[in-house]
Structures are given as structure tokens and as C-alpha cells.
Chain A
Amino acid sequence: MAQAQGAYYVPHGTRWPFLGSIGLSSTVVGAALWINETTPYGKYLMAFGIACLLSMMFGWFRTVIGESLAGIYSKQVDTSFRMGMMWFIFSEVMFFAAFFGALFYARNMSVPWIGGEGDGALTNFFLWKGYTPAWPTNGPGAIGGSFESMPAWGVPLLNTLILLSSGVTITIAHHALRAGRRTQLLIWLGATVILGALFLKFQAGEYIEAYTKMNLTLGSGVYGSTFFMLTGFHGMHVTLGAIMLSVIWLRCLKGHFDKDHHFAFEAVAWYWHFVDVVWLGLFMFVYVL
């Protein structure tokens, strides 16, 4: 009854989440053992956990895709999925907000205070005399040794253009999908994936440059910390987004979507736009300003 079109589909039993919990916990326990260097097996446990997670995703999505193709989902189910994705993206926004908050706090509060500005006169006088506030900085302790900061107008600018155009390409793909033009869809979506990969390649290059030539590392005081945490987490999201885009590309190839039924496509497109917007914030606040 519940499966009939129009009524809400309530699945009966699922094994994937439990596998996912095993995967998640093995991953983090493995990671903890690894960074604590308590046993040499941490990384294997972590690998096992990731494998579990991957198989969970694979299986779970396969089930859902199957159900979707079987026409089990009503409009209402579709709306639930949409809301789920939207609120998930909102939670991601708040995750980034924590790190942006750290960046603002460091730049506008702690560094000036340590440097004696505002309420920090005594702090500077008694503890950090001789330190003048500046940005970028690795603090009065010159943690991590002297470093070069990342210029905005080279690779980062290029990467901004790349991500911006990928936002355009995915929109074109979406229009193609809605107009039912499959070849165009595949081309533009493929272009988006390639742009994402290109972005990652440039960013990897930037990181290598930072670590090998500029002495700019995670340990380069608060500048290095905020720089790598923000760009690093963003890069992880681009990676994830690119993988999702590739999956969607394959699904387009298989003809899973039509002009009315393509929630998965849209979800990934939203995600991609979100990654894009975060990048704009990064480009402004981490690189330019």
C-alpha cells in the first residue's frame, strides 16, 4: 500500500546504516590510534573503516536508486530528500563558519591584542614586547619559523575562475537536462568534473609549493593554521563534490534522469554551488584581504 505512487514510502528494515556505524567508528578509532602512535595497526583499522563506509554508500545509494527507478517515490518523498540535502548543506555552512570565525578572531582580536592594540596594551608590554601586529603572522613566538604568505593573484585567482566557470557549466548542464538534451548534459557535466579536478590539481601544486619552497605549513602560527584548515577542508569538500559529480555523470550516461526526476543531480549541483560560494569567501578573506 505504502509503495503505491502518491503515498509515502516507508522502507522496511535496512542494513546499511549499521554497517555505516561500524565504518565510522572503525575509521575514527583507527585514526586516533594512528595519530597517537599507540599501535602500528591504526591505519589498517582506518582503511577498513573507510572501506565499510564506501560499501555502505554504494549499497545504500544502490538501494535508493533502485527504489527511485522503480517509481516508488512520491513527490512527498522527493521533498523530504530535498529538505534533507538543504539542511545538510546548512550544517556544512556552519562547520565552515567555525573556521571563518577563528580567522576573524585571530586577525581582528588576538593578533592586534598581542600586538598591544585595543585592550592589549598590557599583554604586549608584559609578555610580547617588541611584537608588532601584522597579518599574515606566525605570532610573537614566530612559531614554525619565517615563511612566505600565499599570494592571491596567481594560482588562487586562477582557481577562482575555474570554480566560477564550473558553477556556470553545471548550470548549463542542468538546463540541458531539463530540456532533455542528453549529449549537452553529458558534455557540460563532464566539463564541470574536469574543472573540479583541475582545481584540485592546482591546489595540490600550491600546497607542495607552500611546504617545499615557502616554509608555509600547518605549523606556521595562526596564519598557517587558518590557511590550511580553511583551504584544506574546502579542498576535501571539492574532492567529495567532484566524486559525486562523477557518479552523477555515470548515472546520466545510464539515463537515470529525466526532466522531471533528477533530484540527485540537483542535490549535487547545490552542493557544488555551496563549495563554490565557500571558495569565494576563502578567496576574499584568506587570500586577498
Chain B
Amino acid sequence: MKGAGLMRSRLGGFNWVLGAALAALTGAAQALSQPWQLNMTEGVTETSRTVYGIHMLAFYVCCVIGFLVFGAMIVAMFKFRKSRGAVAATWSHNTIAEIIWTVVPIAILIALAWPATTVMIGMAHTEESQMTVKVTGYQWKWGYDYINLGDKPYHVHFISRLDPQSDKTRQLKSGLDPFAVKQGNDQTYLLDVDHPLVLPTDTKIRFVVTGDDVIHAWWVPELGWKQDAIPGIINDAWTNIHDPGIYRGQCAELCGQDHGFMPIVVKAVPMAEFQKWLDEQEAAYAKANAPLAAPAPAIPTPAAPPVATGASAVPTAL
């Protein structure tokens, strides 16, 4: 998968047959899906790359088995045609063959399940994170709460929804051109928001995900996983982003009429820059809430917001 990086930049305005073949082989990582894209993104985290590896492994295994099975069928169809005078044999069993094609698949399955298990154990390990972000799905927007960074509690909360340009364009018979919705060179139709989720790179970030009304799912392909946002339940997941950049995703669980219109944008920046941004937000929050004083109603949930007790109270062992 080394070649992927080299190919990546070449895949811009390509002759699609060639490009398709290349992309199929390399699964070039893209911040944004490309026209005619064939394969999964490799993503920008350790996890997403291993996931991509498992995906490709499974794909190749299927290709090989498919080659053998379909190959045998095609040979049979040519060799054993009645029109070529083939006479039917009368045998109808072969114990050795039957044992082989029971045992070999089992072995193959174990070979696939093994790495998958290792990755899963790693993905489930949300402890020892350096910061926590709470994600809440609403019909049809996302709410983000920065709970803590290191030991310090934060009260930053904002709502993130579809950008106005996409929103105008996506109305029924708007007559507007989806191809005209752009951020720089990126065609961001339905994949842009007003307030992106800003995250630091090279930091283990824990997400606690929930829904406010119905089930949503938070998914940014570059991070390598999705997690359902279920009302009344908290799910957790983690990421550690290597490369700064803008990563786009979408709600991935049917949540009503505007399910297709609640995208996710993650803006990953180096820690220093992030720290600065977060402190600014916190200051703005403090100013806005100065007369009110704590406890901050940062999280619209029925129970007491945890920020009131300080983030150090979020047991890291949870």
C-alpha cells in the first residue's frame, strides 16, 4: 500500500478507465470522494489504515476464491457441453473434495477473523484519551460539546448544520447547480457545514455520541469508523488524526426527511493552533455566561451536565 501515497496526487483529472483501475488497486486516500471513485479511502488515522487493510485483504481473498469457483464453472461450461458431445458421468460424491472444501474455507475465515479481532480490541479501547468531545445528533444537525482537554474542563458548545449554499441548492427544483457549490477547488455540495468540528492532530480524542430525538450515526470515512447516536444512550469511540486537513462525512442512519442533509466536517489542525482556538471559544463562552455563573447548561440533556462537576470528574477509566 506504499504506492497509494504516490498515486494519490495523480488522480485528479484523469482518464477514468486508467484512474479507476489505479484507484481500485490503491484505494487512494482523498479528503473528498472523487468522481468514479471505486474504493474505500485509506483515511488519515492508524485505525482507518488497518481497517482499509482488512477490507483489501477480504477483497483479495474473495477475488481468489471467485477466480477459482467461476473459473471452474467456465471450464466446465466449455468442456462438458452436450453440443460438444460430452457424455455425463454418473458419480455424485467425492469425500476428499468435500472435506477439502469444508476445511479450507474455515482456515481462510480464521485468517480473516484474526486481524479483525485485533483491530476491534484496539478500537474498543477508548480509555486514556487526551480529550473528550460529546457529539449529539439532532433532526437534522449536529451538536458538539468540548468536555475536556487534558485535565481542564471546557464549556464550548455549538451546533453544526448544512451550509447555506448547499441548503439553497438542495431544495426541490431549486434550479441551482450542485456542481457550483464549492470551497476552493473542492466540490462540497451537501458536504459542508457552517461550523466545522475543530480537532487537534496527533491526539487521542474520545467521542461520546448520543442522539437527541431519533437515531443518527456519526461517520467520517477518513477516521475509519462510524458510531450510532442513540437517544438516551451514550456510545463511545476514539480517533487520533495524523494529517491536518478537512475531512467530510455524513449522517449514516436514516433519521427522517433531512437525513441526507446533515453532513459532518472535521477540521484537524496542529495542537497549538487548536489550543488557541479552543481557548478563544472558552473565553467567548465565559463572557456570554458571566452573569449566569456556573453550572453551565452546556448540554441539553435531562440530567445534570457533567461539566458542572469539572472534567476531571469524567473518570478516564470509563
Binding site for B on A (CB under 8 A): 113-114, 121-123, 125-131, 140-141
Contacts and interface: CB of A to CB of B under 8 A. Distances in A.
Q: Which of A113, A114, A127, A130 gathers most chain B CB within 10 Å?
A: A127
B306 A126 contact: yes
A130 B308 CA distance: 14
Contacts of A122: 208, 234, 236, 318
Nearest to B134: A126
Given A130-B304, A141-B302, 12 more contacts: A113-B233, A125-B234, A125-B314, A126-B299, A126-B301, A127-B233, A127-B301, A127-B303, A128-B302, A128-B303, A129-B303, A140-B302
Contacts of B304: 129-130
Interface in B260-308: 299, 301-304, 306
Contact of B233 (A123, A131, A141): A123
B303 A130 contact: yes
B234 A126 contact: yes
10 contacts: A122-B208, A122-B318, A123-B234, A125-B234, A125-B314, A125-B318, A126-B301, A127-B234, A130-B304, A140-B302
A131 B302 CA distance: 12
Contact of A114 (B210, B232, B236): B232
Interface string B85-98: 00000000000000
Nearest to A116: B318
Q: Which of B208, B210, B232, B301 gathers most chain A CB within 10 Å?
A: B232
Contacts of A125: 234, 306, 314-315, 318
Q: Which of A113, A121, A125, A141 gathers most chain B CB within 10 Å?
A: A125
B282 to A, nearest CB: 20
Contacts of A113: 233
A121 B236 CA distance: 11
B16 to A, nearest CB: 45
A122 B230 CA distance: 13
B295 to A, nearest CB: 12
Given A121-B318, A122-B208, A122-B318, A129 B232 contact: no
Contacts of B232: 114, 123, 127-128
Nearest to A129: B303
A131 B303 CA distance: 9
A145 B315 CA distance: 32
Contacts of A126: 134, 208, 210, 234, 299, 301, 303, 306
